[in-house]
């Protein structure tokens, strides 16, 4: 299931994290009793996604010596990781992935995967971006039209939120982070609201990476506080 050539594995090569990812739902993927109630009334597709992404998470945890454990949904739906671990999970059509790390090495992390397609509703872009961001996307699209830049921005803001929430324990809206996306596979998010104090300093920005391959857009942030 885990492959060094997987898209998240490629994106995060060299980072102090462990990745587990898959393009299918393995038959041996099962939920812990504590997890099952969260999707008991969900449609089968949602149940498969929820189950497989936790199967990936447990595979990743085993590689850093953490025994299998339930990963339930906590405050605002965020996953609750075992003590001493930080992690992030993501899934979309045809892809599931999880990334974990020791909290002693990584302060927080966030990953997101999306289909490598333009946003189906053009109005969504107006909801998740400001005028400056949209102008930047237009310029990027003129230079590299094969990349779905609007979907990439959406994914990057999801990764920002997933990294932010474990540190701040409060909501961060799409409008609360201004993104600068670069063609070299990196992006920076400027936080526009008061941030949490991490390692003695207010969190004012986050930096991440992105990759588009095999029909999938992935973004990731591995935040290591000084």
Residue spans of the domains in the chain: they are: 7-110, 112-223
**What distance in Å separates the CA atoms of residue 21 and residue 1, rounded to the nearest whole number?**
7
| CATH 3.90.470.20 assigned to 7-110 | yes
List pLDDT tens digits, range 13-53: 999 999 999 999 999 999 999 999 999 999 999 999 999 99
As a whole number, mean pLDDT of residues 151-162 equals 98
**What distance in Å separates the CA atoms of residue 204 and residue 208, rounded to the nearest whole number?**
14
List pLDDT tens digits, range 162-221: 999 999 999 999 999 999 999 999 999 999 999 999 999 999 999 999 999 999 999 999
% of the chain exceeding 90 in pLDDT: 94
Residue 182, helix vs strand vs coil:
coil
Residue 138, helix vs strand vs coil:
helix
Indicate the pLDDT class of residue 5, thresholds 50, 70 and 90.
Answer: low
- For 112-223, CATH number out of 2.102.10.10, 3.90.470.20, 3.40.50.1970, 2.60.40.10 equals 3.90.470.20
The residue among 115, 79, 111 whose CA lies nearest residue 15 is 111
Q: Please tell me if the domain spanning 7-110 has the same topology as the one spanning 112-223.
A: yes
Burial zone of 6 (CB within 10 Å; 0-12 exposed, 13-18 middle, 19+ buried):
buried
Residue 49 CA, distance from chain mean position? 15
- Structure confidence at residue 1 (pLDDT): 40
- Structure confidence at residue 76 (pLDDT): 84
Q: Is the pLDDT of residue 110 over 70?
A: yes
Say which residue the tokens 């002693």 belong to: 104
Q: Is the pLDDT of residue 2 over 70?
A: no
Q: Is the pLDDT of residue 3 over 50?
A: no
As a whole number, mean pLDDT of residues 81-90 equals 98
The Cα-based distances of 66 to 61, 70, 85, 87, 106 in angstroms read 5, 12, 9, 12, 16
CB 210 within 8 A of CB 218: yes
- Structure confidence at residue 4 (pLDDT): 42
DSSP line for 9-76 = HHHTTTSS-EEEEESS--TT----TTTGGGGTTS-HHHHHHHHHHHHHHHHHHHTTTPPP----B-GG
Average pLDDT, the chain: 95
- Structure confidence at residue 75 (pLDDT): 84
The Cα-based distances of 86 to 30, 142, 198 in angstroms read 22, 38, 15
């Amino acid at each position: 299931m885990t492959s060094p050539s997987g898209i998240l594995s490629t994106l995060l090569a060299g980072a102090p994290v462990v990745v587990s990812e898959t393009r299918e739902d393995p038959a041996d993927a099962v939920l812990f009793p504590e997890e099952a109630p969260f999707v008991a009334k969900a449609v089968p597709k949602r149940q498969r996604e929820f189950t497989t992404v936790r199967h990936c998470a447990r595979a990743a945890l085993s590689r850093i010596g953490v025994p299998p454990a339930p990963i339930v949904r906590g405050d605002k739906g965020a996953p609750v990781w075992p003590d001493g671990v930080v992690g992030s999970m993501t899934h979309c059509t045809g892809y599931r992935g999880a990334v974990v790390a020791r909290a002693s090495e990584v302060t927080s992390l966030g990953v997101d995967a999306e289909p490598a397609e333009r946003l189906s509703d053009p109005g969504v872009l107006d909801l998740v971006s400001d005028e400056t961001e949209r102008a930047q996307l237009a310029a990027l699209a003129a230079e590299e039209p094969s990349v779905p830049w609007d979907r990439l921005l959406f994914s990057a803001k999801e990764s920002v939120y997933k990294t932010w929430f474990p540190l701040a324990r409060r909501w961060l809206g799409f409008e609360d982070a201004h993104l600068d996306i670069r063609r070299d596979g990196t992006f920076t998010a400027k936080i526009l609201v008061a941030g949490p104090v991490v390692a003695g300093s207010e969190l004012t920005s986050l930096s991440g990476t992105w990759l588009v391959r095999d029909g999938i857009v992935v973004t990731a942030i591995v935040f290591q506080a000084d």
